[in-house]
Amino acid sequence: MSARVREMTAEDLTQVQAIEDVSFPNPWTPAVFAGELSRDDRVWLVVEDAGTVLGYAGATAHLSESHIMNLAVRQDVRRRGLAAALLSELVERLSGCGVRQVTLEVRERNAAAIALYESAGLHGVGMRPGYYAETGEDALIMWSDEFDAPGESARLAGLRAHALAALETFDGRDAPGTGDELVLAIETSCDETAAAVMRGGTELLSNVIASQVDFHARFGGVVPEIASRKHTEAIVPVVEQAMAEAAVALGRESLGFAELDAIAVTHGPGLIGALVVGVAYAKGLSAATGVPLVGVNHLEGHIFANMFAFPDVRPPLVALLVSGGHTSLIHMPGWGEYHTLGETLDDAAGEAFDKVAKVLGLGYPGGPVISRLAADGDPHAIDFPRAMLHSGDYAFSLSGLKTAVINHIRHEREAGNEIDMPDLAASFQQAVIDVQVAKAVRATEECGVRTFVLAGGVAANAALRDALTSALEACGVRVAVPPFSLCTDNAAMIASAGTYRFRAGERLGLDAEASASMRLDAL
C-alpha cells in the first residue's frame, strides 16, 4: 500500500487531464499537455497508486532558473503529502538538470499551496494583479533561494523526508476522512429493505435486512408494486433497528441520527418504485438532521462487498458482476473508475437461475435452490450450449441456455422419463460457469491485471467461486469474493461504498432523483 512518484508518460494523459479539468477554472488542454511532454527541456512527474494517477507536476529545465508550471493533486486525496512528494522529487530532478533556483505563481488565496511552497523554502516576492483572468484573482510570485543540491537545504531535506513517509503509508481508501466516521446506509433497490451502520469504512456495527422474498415467491419473481409497498412498511423499523444495534455495538445506550457523519443511500440502478422509497426517506432524514447525504450506485456497492473479507484488495482489477439484473465484466483501473468490457445481451445470470427454477417449480429465487441441487449432480450429464464462449468479446447471452433447459425438460417429460434434478441443475450451472470463467480469464489477461473480484447475488454460488478461483489463480491472478452473507442485496456494502464516496467529497442534493438505469461507467 504505497504511492510513488515517476515520470509522466503519454499513457497518463487521460487521467492527468481529468484532474486538470476539475482543478482549475481555466484548465490546460490535452494539446498543451501533449506539447509539454514532447519537449526534452521539461520535467513532468506523476504521483500514482497502483496505476491510478493521483497528481502531477511539471517545470522547465533548460536554464539555471526553473519555472514550476503546474502542480495538482486529485481532490479526494489532497492534504496527504502527495503534493509535497511531487514538489520534492521535482526539485531533486531539476537540480540534476543544473537548476539552481525555482519560481512559480500561485493563487493569492490558495493558502494550502502557499504553505506547502513555503515549507519547501520558497518565499513570496511580489504580486501579479489579476493574473488569473477567469476569476480576476491575483497571483503571488514565489522564488526559492539558490541551491547547489537540494540535500544541502534543511528545508528541502525535511520536505523530502515528510514526502517519502507520505508515499509509503499512502492508502487510496483512507482518503480525507477522520477514519471513524459513522455512516448509516439504506438500500431499497429491489426486494430487500436493508439498513446498516458502519464506522470508519470497515467496522460494521449493524446490518439489518428485511427480505420480502416470501411475498414475491408465489409470483415466481419480484412484483414491483409489491416491492414499493413493502419498502414503505419496512423502512422505518429497519433503520431504527440498525441504529439500535449500532448503539449496542458501540457500548452506548442510544445513537441519535444527528451523531451520524453521513447517510448513504442506493439511488440506482434498480426498480424505480423501490429506489424512490429509500431515496425519499434518506432525503427526509438528511433534511431533518443536517447530516450530509451520499448517493451510492448499487453495482459499486456489490463490488465493495469484497472489502469485508479482502480489505487490501485494490485496483487495477477486473470485476465480474453477476446478479439478478446484471452480468458484466468490468475493468477498474483505479478507485471509482469503471469501464464495462462487455455485458449480457439478454438475460442476466441470476435471472437465468430464477427462470430455470420457475420452470422446474422450485420457487423464487432460483439461485440458492439450483446450486444446492447441483452439488449432488453430474455437471457433464447433459451437454447444454455455452453461448458466446468463442465470440472473442466480453458479451454474454443466457436466454438460449434457458430455452435449451426448457426444451430438455419438455422432451424428457414427453418421452416419459423422470428428470434427474441434480444432474439437470449441475449441467445448467456448469454451462453458465464455463463461459464466465473463460471470459474472466481473458479479461484479466487483456487488461493486464493481477486482481479479480466477484460481485453480485450470483457470487453466492459456490461452484462459480471455486471455478473462478482455481482458473484465475493458475494464471497468477488473485481472486477476491464477498462473504456469502453479503453477496445478495444488503446495506453493509452500500455503507462501504458510501464511506468511500463520502470521503471523496461527494454529496447528493435534496433535489436529486433515483435512477432505474444508472451505469457504473458514468460514475
* 188 scored as a contact of ligand KG4 (CB under 6 A): no
Residue listed under C-alpha cell 480576476: 136
Among 13, 190, 491, 494, binds ligand KG4 (CB under 6 A): 190
Please say which residue, 292 or 368, places its beta carbon nearer to ligand KG4.
368
Tell me if 328 contacts Zn ion by CB under 5 A: no
Minimum Å gap between C-beta 262 and ligand KG4 is: 23
| Choice between 104 and 356, CB closer to ligand KG4 | 356
Task: Give 520's DSSP letter.
Answer: S
Among residues 5, 425, 458, 479, the one that binds ligand KG4 under rule CB under 6 A: 458
Near ligand KG4 by CB under 6 A: residue from 150, 315, 333, 365 = 365
**Are the C-beta atoms of residues 16 and 10 closer than 8 Å to each other?**
no
Q: Is 488 a binder of ligand KG4 (CB under 6 A)?
A: yes
* Gap between the Cα atoms of 170 and 162, Å rounded: 12
Does 489 interact with Zn ion (rule: CB under 5 A)? yes
- H-type alpha helices, 335-483: 349-359, 366-374, 399-414, 421-447, 462-474
Q: 61 or 271, CB closer to Zn ion?
A: 271
What does the block give as the cell for 265?
443511500
Dihedral-angle region of residue 305 (phi above 0 means left; psi in -120 to 50 means alpha; beta otherwise): alpha
Among candidate residues 209, 193, 188, 213, the one with its CA nearest the CA of residue 276: 188
CB of 456 to ligand KG4, least distance (A): 5
Task: Measure CA 410 to chain center.
Answer: 44
Piece of 46-54, 361-369, 380-388, 469-477 that binds ligand KG4 (CB under 6 A): 361-369
CB 115 within 8 A of CB 169: no
| Distance in Å from the first CA to the final CA of the chain | 24
333 binds ligand KG4 (CB under 6 A): no
Tell which positions 21-60 bind ligand KG4, by CB under 6 A.
none
Can you tell me which of 166, 303, 431, 460 binds ligand KG4, judged by CB under 6 A?
A: 460
Burial class (CB in 10 A: 0-12, 13-18, 19+), 503: buried
Dihedral, CA of residue 155, residue 157, residue 158 and residue 160, to nearest 10: 120
235 residue type, one letter: I
Q: What are the residue ranges of helices labelled H in 143-218?
A: 154-169, 213-217
User: Which window, 108-116, 148-156, 306-314, 319-327, contacts ligand KG4 (CB under 6 A)?
Assistant: 319-327
**Contacted entry of ligand KG4, Zn ion, none for residue 153, CB cut-off 5 to 8 Å set by kind:** none
**Residue holding cell 464462449?**
389
**Please, are residues 341 and 237 in contact by the beta-carbon 8 Å criterion?**
no
Q: What is the largest CA-CA distance in the chain?
A: 95
Q: In one letter, which amino acid is 216?
A: H
Find the binding residues for Zn ion in span 457-486 (CB under 5 A): none
Which listed residue (368, 385, 400, 483) binds ligand KG4 by CB under 6 A? Answer: 368
The rounded distance, in Å, linking the Cα atoms of 221 and 354 is 8
76 binds Zn ion (CB under 5 A): no
188 near Zn ion, rule: CB under 5 A: no
- Looking at 67-75, 90-98, 142-150, 457-465, which segment touches ligand KG4 (CB under 6 A)? 457-465
Nearest-approach distance from CB 202 to ligand KG4, in angstroms: 22
CA distances from 343 to 9, 247, 450, 481 (A): 31, 41, 21, 20
CA distance 180 to 495: 13
Q: Which does 336 bind (CB under 5 to 8 A by kind): Zn ion, ligand KG4, none?
A: none
300 lies in the site for ligand KG4, by CB under 6 A: no
Using CB under 5 A as the binding criterion, the count of chain residues that bind Zn ion stands at 2
Q: Select the residue interacting with ligand KG4 from 325, 333, 379, 498 (CB under 6 A).
A: 325
Considering only 43-51, 92-100, 322-330, 387-395, which stretch makes contact with ligand KG4 by CB under 6 A? 322-330
Least distance in angstroms from the C-beta of 457 to Zn ion:
6
Q: Judged by CB under 5 A, does residue 490 bind Zn ion?
A: no
User: Counting contacts by CB under 6 A, is residue 360 touching ligand KG4?
Assistant: no
The enclosing H or E element of 88 equals helix 82-96
Residues that bind ligand KG4 (CB under 6 A): 190, 323-325, 350-351, 353-354, 365-368, 371, 456-458, 460-461, 488-489
Residues that bind Zn ion (CB under 5 A): 323, 489
